């Protein structure tokens, strides 16, 4: 399974992200969370933001001889190896993939990408009898209800708020225990200046989250997955699992680092079609794949289990 984190020189010290210290959520309660497969092997996570589009990490989309058809997204899944577990469960092949143009593959800045699906997710469409509007996460900073145009950035309102990270990443600090069932965890968003003092200077395109006492974190295999602020009827995608500075995830004073979604509101609408989404009301108070490198990548097939 892929790690998430700084590339090449960082492979020995950076952990690819997975959920540690979390819990098994109620099945299908976080339906915006996708599994990202490459050649049938789970490698990253992603977030459904439109019936035909998903957001992931740019480092999940790089490698030699990569073509979109190598990728599939697992939609509406709880038990990942179970191919059919709900009428909304499906595997959809990618039609196109896009990395942020400023992502260079050698550092972690601008670690965000888009996947256009070959067909819409069926239950994300209102005409489907099993329609579930919760499947589509709102995009932080894109607040217009009918068109994707930059809206007011709400990063500051999320400081200290508990956001939810979810996926099928490792549940052990060493990054070697991969669950069949989705895991999720609540992690507080950390002030940028505080995070920089703990993990080194972070870019303006990044946001940190995790309890400073440690014990809860994304980890190996969670790369590209969502960091979302969850309201009763909608999730807002605030971050994309990117990297960590400790190989053993969930260490004290080492919060996970995520691509800050609202930093990309001038790029995302260039590719995403318009879609009527609204944002939840502001919250008050408190309420992580590498390059295609065999030496560093960690894979598992859908039939594997631990």
Please give the positions annotated as active site: 59, 111, 223
User: Could you give the CA distance from residue 51 to residue 210 in angstroms, rounded to a whole number?
Assistant: 30
Q: What are phi and psi of 60, to 5 degrees?
A: -80, -10
> Which among 168, 196, 173 has a CA at the least distance from the CA of 246?
173
Residue with the two structure tokens 């959520």: 25
Q: What are phi and psi of 134, to 5 degrees?
A: -70, -10
Q: How distant is the alpha carbon of residue 28 from its chain centre?
A: 16
User: Could you give the CA distance from residue 250 to residue 172 in angstroms, rounded to a whole number?
Assistant: 9
CA distances from 94 to 11, 25, 40, 73 (A): 27, 27, 12, 7
Tokens found for residue 284? 């008050």
Question: How many C-beta neighbours within 10 Å does residue 95 have?
Answer: 15
Q: What are phi and psi of 206, to 5 degrees?
A: -125, 155
Residue with the two structure tokens 């979390």: 22
User: Could you give the CA distance from residue 98 to residue 107 in angstroms, rounded to a whole number?
Assistant: 17
As beta bridge partners, residue 63 has: none
């Amino acid at each position: 399974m892929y790690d998430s984190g700084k590339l090449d020189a960082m492979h020995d010290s950076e952990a690819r992200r997975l959920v540690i210290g979390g819990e098994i959520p109620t099945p299908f309660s976080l339906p915006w969370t996708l599994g990202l497969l490459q050649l049938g092997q789970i490698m990253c996570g992603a977030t459904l933001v439109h019936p035909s589009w998903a957001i992931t990490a740019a480092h999940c989309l790089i490698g030699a001889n990569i073509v979109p058809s190598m990728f599939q997204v697992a939609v509406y899944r709880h038990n990942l190896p179970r191919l059919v577990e709900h009428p909304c469960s499906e595997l959809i092949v990618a039609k196109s993939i896009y990395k942020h143009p400023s992502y260079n593959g050698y550092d972690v800045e601008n670690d965000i990408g888009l996947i256009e699906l070959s067909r819409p997710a069926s239950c994300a469409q209102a005409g489907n009898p099993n329609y579930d509007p919760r499947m589509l996460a709102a995009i932080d900073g894109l607040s217009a209800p009918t068109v994707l145009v930059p809206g007011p950035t709400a990063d500051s309102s999320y400081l200290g708020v508990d956001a939810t990270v979810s996926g099928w990443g490792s549940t052990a600090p060493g990054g070697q225990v991969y669950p069949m069932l989705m895991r999720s965890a609540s992690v507080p968003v950390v002030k940028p200046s505080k995070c920089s003092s703990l993990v080194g200077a972070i870019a303006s395109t990044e946001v940190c989250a995790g309890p400073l006492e440690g014990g809860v974190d994304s980890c190996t295999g969670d790369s590209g997955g969502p960091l979302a602020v969850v309201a009763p009827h909608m999730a807002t995608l605030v971050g994309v699992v990117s990297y960590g500075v400790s190989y053993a995830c969930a260490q004290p004073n080492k919060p996970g680092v995520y691509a800050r979604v609202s930093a990309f509101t001038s790029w995302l609408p260039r590719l995403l079609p318009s879609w009527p989404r609204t944002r939840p009301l502001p919250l008050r108070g408190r309420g992580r794949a590498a390059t295609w490198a065999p030496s560093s990548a960690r894979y598992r097939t859908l039939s594997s289990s631990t």
